[in-house]
Amino acid sequence: MKSFLINTALILFGALLFAASFPNPIINYGFPILAWFAYIPVFYVIRRCKNNIRGLLICILWGALYGYTSYSLLVHWLANFHPLAAMTASLLQLFYMALLFPLLKLALIFYPHKGYILQWMLWLAYEYLRTLGFLGFPYGISGYTQWQFPLIIGIASVFGVWGVSALVLFPSVYIAAIADELLLPKRSPQKNPISFFYRERLAAAAWLGALLAALIFSTMQADYSQESTAKIALIQQNADPWMDNNPRGYKRMLGILSSLSQKALEEVPDTELVVWPETAFLPRIYWHTTYRDNPASYEIVKELLDFLAEQEVPFLIGNDDARREVTAAGTLSRVNYNAAILFEEGEIKDVYRKMHLVPFAEHFPYEKTFPRIYQELVKANVRFWKPGSEALVFSTAKLHFSVPICFEDCFGYISRDFSRRGADFIVNITNDSWADSFSSQLQHLAMSVFRAVENRRAVVRAATSGQTCAIAPSGRILAMAPPFTETALHVEIPLMTGFTPYMFWGDIWGKIFTACAFMVLIAGVFRYILDLTKTGRKL
């Protein structure tokens, strides 16, 4: 019982350290130094479990407890969307960790002296794999804790976030191994921290060398050149447009957005682009101007178009873009896209439609496979969108940019594709106001910072309630509007060209860590079976 209570306390402490490393309600910007040690309790508990079948089964229990607790603390704000959303995210992590922890234990069984290195690779593989597919969810990747430190995250232009995660995770597995030597009952007089450190000195030296190289690399990177810049006005209306989804609300929202924009243009007349957040203007602009099936909505759309026709500056506006298309059933009906629309002199110049939709909240492609889940989502008034298909680069007279919408800038491959296609900077439009959480907005911002570093492109963000900001190609925050305020943020950003190593090979380092982890694990299985065969021992 004593051992059980100790392990429980360690797991819960580890979950608390994990959540505290990221932006959270108690420490708004998070306590990123904790991330370098946050996983020590986890790896130590795994070492405390016995090297047998029972020990592996108990690891499943500790993994489930850690996965659920850590993500309940990290993404508590999902409950503001729907209580089941937070529970689903936490249950997914419960499942993932229940699978991961026994593998981490097997690493020690198969490789008694070097198992900590395999544990390190397995955790990195887990971080990469859980960003893939329909359920991909990048929140909680350890590298993102370092978003405030350009000197550390500069290597993301080569390795993506995976290189930063590799640096951050290693001290935990290494120190947990030392704690094993120091605190667990000794079966040999040779088992002590000093002998471990001497035996594993090359691994420690390699990590220190990698950390030093990362710092030097980042120091040598120029922040940006001032030779070519763009002046942009980012609008933050401090209201969730979906909370006032009626003609009266549309008119009020348009009044706020147009007033803030007009004021911004008066303050900085040579502004080159005005950006409104995701679905900032709800009435379907193309639909209502084309079909006019709702006179009240059409009048509000016309008011917007009249306002835009008077502007000499291009406007980028988030909108529900509805089109009449042939559906999978072969019928002609309305299809909705979450879109960013570029206007010049009141006319639509181009439209980007969000490609990577939020699972369950925006997209559920398994209606026939899981009809009950689909019906529950419909009852919860979930807004289903159709995914777009083109990684568009917008162009004005001077500017070339792309617009990952909301959740899309959480994934490196999307901004990478935009940059490879010719975007000189990235514009993220988002609506995080539904979460009513400063920490959730900062967690989202942390991932945007990495998109800037990976592609050496400036990133600007227009968010309904925050964090509206501009990010330098180095990851440094150039300017940020106060959260939960009506404001327009004026920013001047560099226009960058050229390719980074990350733009060439993308998330290959996440794939390399994953491949290496499973090859070494499988080799360990065969090695262990041969050893059992020779010695006649049992697991």
Phi, psi at 317, each rounded to 5°: -130, 130
What is d(CA 24, CA 22) in angstroms, rounded to the nearest whole number? 6
* Amino acid (1-letter code) at residue 525: V
Q: List alpha helices for 380-506, DSSP H.
A: 412-420, 438-455, 501-505
List the structure tokens of 285: 């602009």
**Choosing from 127, 278, 362, 408, which is the catalytic residue?**
278
Clarify whether 406 is annotated catalytic. yes
Q: Is-cis flag, bond preceding 467, omega within 30?
A: yes
- Count the neighbouring beta carbons within 10 Å of the beta carbon of residue 481: 25
List the structure tokens of 174: 């290494």
347-353: strand order across its sheet: 347-353, 332-344, 315-326, 273-275, 229-236, 487-494
The pLDDT averaged over each successive group of 10 residues in the chain (539 residues) is 90 97 95 97 95 92 97 93 84 96 96 94 98 94 98 97 98 92 59 75 95 95 77 96 87 96 96 97 94 91 96 96 82 91 94 93 81 76 86 94 96 97 97 94 98 97 96 96 97 93 97 97 90 69
What is d(CA 93, CA 130) in angstroms, rounded to the nearest whole number? 9
What is d(CA 19, CA 15) in angstroms, rounded to the nearest whole number? 6
CATH code assigned to 229-355+390-504: 3.60.110.10
Which residues, listed in sequence order, are joined to residue 400 by a DSSP beta bridge?
A: 395
Q: Which pLDDT belongs to residue 420?
A: 96
DSSP codes, 376-407:
HHHHTT------------EE-SS-EEE--BGG
What is d(CA 246, CA 282) in angstroms, rounded to the nearest whole number? 9
**Choosing from 105, 127, 181, 354, which is the catalytic residue?**
354
Please name the helix (run of DSSP H) or strand (run of DSSP E) that holds residue 84, with its range, or none.
helix 83-110
Q: Are 351 and 322 in contact (CB under 8 A)?
A: no
Residue 439 half-sphere exposure toward CB, CA atoms < 13 A: 21
What is d(CA 168, CA 146) in angstroms, rounded to the nearest whole number? 9
Clarify whether 278 is annotated catalytic. yes
Residue 68 half-sphere exposure toward CB, CA atoms < 13 A: 12
pTM of the predicted protein model? 0.94
Which residues, at least 6 apart from 34, have a Cβ–Cβ distance to it below 8 Å?
A: 17, 20, 21, 145
Q: Which pLDDT belongs to residue 188?
A: 54
**Choosing from 49, 59, 406, 410, which is the catalytic residue?**
406
Q: Which pLDDT belongs to residue 180?
A: 79
Q: List alpha helices for 184-273, DSSP H.
A: 193-199, 201-220, 247-267
Which residues, listed in sequence order, are joined to residue 427 by a DSSP beta bridge?
A: 460
* Amino acid (1-letter code) at residue 48: R
What is d(CA 17, CA 513) in angstroms, rounded to the nearest whole number? 24
Question: Per residue, what are the HEC states of 346-374?
Answer: CEEEEEEECCCCCECCCECCCCCCCHHHH
Q: Which pLDDT belongs to residue 236?
A: 98
What is d(CA 183, CA 373) in angstroms, rounded to the nearest whole number? 48
Helix (H, G, I), strand (E, B) or coil at 493: strand
Clarify whether 59 is annotated catalytic. no
What is d(CA 31, CA 10) in angstroms, rounded to the nearest whole number? 19
DSSP codes, 202-214:
HHHHHHHHHHHHH
Question: Beta strand 273-275 with 315-326: parallel, antiparallel or unpaired?
Answer: parallel
Q: Are 385 and 341 in contact (CB under 8 A)?
A: no
- End-to-end CA gap in the chain: 24
Question: Beta strand 347-353 with 394-395: parallel, antiparallel or unpaired?
Answer: unpaired
